[in-house]
C-alpha cells in the first residue's frame, strides 16, 4: 500500500496548466513555477520528467484524497492522475472531498475516516492486498 501527495509531478499537472493558464489564476501561478524552475511544459522535457511520478511502475493499492476547494493544487489534476493510473493499477482509489482545502485541514474527521477505511480494506490481514 502507498499513499502519495496529490502533486505527482509536472507530467500530470503540466497539461492541465497548459490548457488553463490563460483563464485560471492558479494555472497561471503554476505555469510560472514550472517555467521558472524547469522550463516550459512539453511531454519530453527531461527536467519535468525527473520530478514526476512514474505511476506506471506502481502496482500496489493507492489512495488519492483531494479536496475540491484546494487553492494550492487543482483537484482536476488529481482526477487526471487517477484516470491515467486506473488502467495500470486497478487498486487505485480516488476520494474527492467536497469543500476540502489543501491537506484537508478543514475536514480532519473526513480525512481520518477515509484513510482508516482504506487501511481496513488494504491493510495487514486484508484479502485485497
Tens of pLDDT, residue by residue over 64-112, are 999 999 999 999 999 999 999 999 999 999 999 999 999 899 999 999 9
Contact 6, 66 (CB under 8 A): yes
Give the H or E element holding residue 3: strand 2-3
State residue 8's pLDDT score. Answer: 76
What's the chain's average pLDDT? 89
Tell me what pLDDT residue 125 has. 62
Per-residue pLDDT for 128 more than 80? no
SS3 83: helix
Q: Report how far residue 3's alpha carbon sits from residue 1's, in angstroms, rounded to the nearest whole number.
A: 7
Which three cell numbers, joined as nine digits, stand for 97?
Answer: 472531498
Distance CA 111, CA 119 (A): 12
CB 62 within 8 A of CB 2: yes
- Chain segment 50-66, per-residue pLDDT in tens: 888 888 888 889 999 99
CB within 8 Å of 19: residues ≥ 6 apart: 27
Amino acid at each position: 500500500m502507498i499513499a502519495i501527495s496529490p502533486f505527482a509531478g509536472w507530467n500530470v499537472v503540466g497539461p492541465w496548466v497548459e490548457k488553463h493558464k490563460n483563464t485560471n489564476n492558479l494555472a497561471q501561478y503554476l505555469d510560472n513555477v514550472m517555467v521558472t524552475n524547469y522550463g516550459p511544459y512539453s511531454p519530453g522535457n527531461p527536467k519535468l520528467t525527473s520530478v514526476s511520478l512514474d505511476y506506471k511502475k506502481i502496482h500496489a493499492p493507492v489512495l488519492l484524497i483531494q479536496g475540491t476547494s484546494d487553492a494550492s493544487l487543482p483537484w482536476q489534476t488529481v482526477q487526471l492522475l487517477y484516470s491515467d493510473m486506473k488502467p495500470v493499477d486497478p487498486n487505485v482509489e480516488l476520494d474527492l472531498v467536497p469543500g476540502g482545502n489543501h491537506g484537508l485541514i478543514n475536514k480532519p474527521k473526513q480525512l481520518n475516516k477515509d484513510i482508516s477505511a482504506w487501511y481496513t480494506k488494504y491493510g495487514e490481514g486484508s484479502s485485497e492486498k
